[in-house]
Amino acid sequence: MKAYRIEDTENGPRGTVVAMEPDALDAGDVVISTRHAGINYKDALAGTGKAPIIRRYPCNGGIEAVGQVETSASDRFRPGDWVIVHGRGIGVSHDGGFAEKVRVPADWLVRLPDGLTPREAAIFGVAGHSAALAVHKLEELGVTPDRGPIAVTGATGGVGSLAVGMLARRGFSVTAISSKTDQEAFLRGLGASAVRTPPAEETRKPLEGAEWAGAVDTVGGPQLEWLLRTTAPQGVVTAIGNAAGIGLKTTVLPFILRGVTLAGINSDTPMELRQLIWNRMAGDLKPDGLDALGREIALEALPAYMDEMIAGRIHGRTLVTFAD
């Protein structure tokens, strides 16, 4: 079978497409024939060696997969069942989705919910699950469409674009924040009612004009700091990503003067929450035109694609797709 396998070379971690024996895959009681594996920023960091993501070398990359059960030693899954797997160390410390087959414990699998095709589930992938968790969290903490607009940063990215689509579907007014000035039509097509570039200048003011009822931040760093300074009283900012770094400079004033909540999002959810969120993704959080948000590449095109992703030149969701 073919796999995109990441080795620790003398020039640092690097992924290449290799042939490997399925028996050499990490252990599990279910073998899945992979149909699609979405590509995430974290995969690009791992495969290019830009960050120390991989915990054990060599390791097949790919932090998610959608496919059909081929063999199962678990009575919960049968050959032919469509399943989704992400998190639990997939593509980090357990052979991941950029391979024709994946072998995992049955406990890691989510059944494909009614209302999603395998391709739609892969277009969502970890990115969609994270975006859905953020929308779920905003709603859980009382943010409703009548309270004002929601800002989404890194809006053309995988997480960002899906968050824009989901929030629009839920009736929120969405302001898409993107550095890509040529992507306004794409963002409005997803349902954004306003599109802005990130603020150019740093400010020393601890608070600025209150603009957002809530926010979904996929970028971190200065953009997250700006969101905290500009979120309205009782607003909620969800932090998902670190595309601009892991640092965060803020003051306590947004929290103690405006009652702003900073809520963390981690997509490696417990199974009960995972299934609930996937069910919502197949229902009230499914954006219009989801199918058009994905495009396919072959496994061999992954290395070049990852370089583009690190350079921030990608928009939407791209899948590595394997033949039937």
Binding residues for ligand NAP (CB under 6 A): 40-42, 126-127, 130, 154-160, 178-180, 218-219, 240-244, 265-267, 309, 312, 314
Residue 71 tokens, joined: 């063999």
* Residue closer to ligand NAP, measured from CB, 69 or 187: 187
User: Residue 105: is the preceding peptide bond cis (ω within 30°)?
Assistant: no
* Residue closer to ligand NAP, measured from CB, 31 or 168: 168
* Residue closer to ligand NAP, measured from CB, 3 or 306: 306
Nearest approach in angstroms of CB 203 to ligand NAP is 17
Q: Residue 20: how many CB atoms within 10 A of its CB?
A: 17
C-alpha 266/C-alpha 240 separation (Å) is 7
Nearest approach in angstroms of CB 312 to ligand NAP is 4
Q: Name the packing angle between helices 302-310 and 41-48 (round to 10°).
A: 110
* Residue closer to ligand NAP, measured from CB, 155 or 319: 155
* Residue closer to ligand NAP, measured from CB, 92 or 309: 309
Nearest approach in angstroms of CB 74 to ligand NAP is 26
Nearest approach in angstroms of CB 253 to ligand NAP is 24
Nearest approach in angstroms of CB 19 to ligand NAP is 28
Nearest approach in angstroms of CB 324 to ligand NAP is 27
- The residue whose Cβ lies closest to ligand NAP is 157
* Residue closer to ligand NAP, measured from CB, 31 or 214: 214
- Whether 5 and 16 have beta carbons less than 8 Å apart is answered as yes
C-alpha 216/C-alpha 253 separation (Å) is 20
* Residue closer to ligand NAP, measured from CB, 219 or 228: 219
Nearest approach in angstroms of CB 164 to ligand NAP is 10
Nearest approach in angstroms of CB 87 to ligand NAP is 8
Rounded to the nearest 5°, which phi and psi values hold at 291? -60, -35
Nearest approach in angstroms of CB 216 to ligand NAP is 10
* Residue closer to ligand NAP, measured from CB, 143 or 240: 240
* Residue closer to ligand NAP, measured from CB, 22 or 189: 189
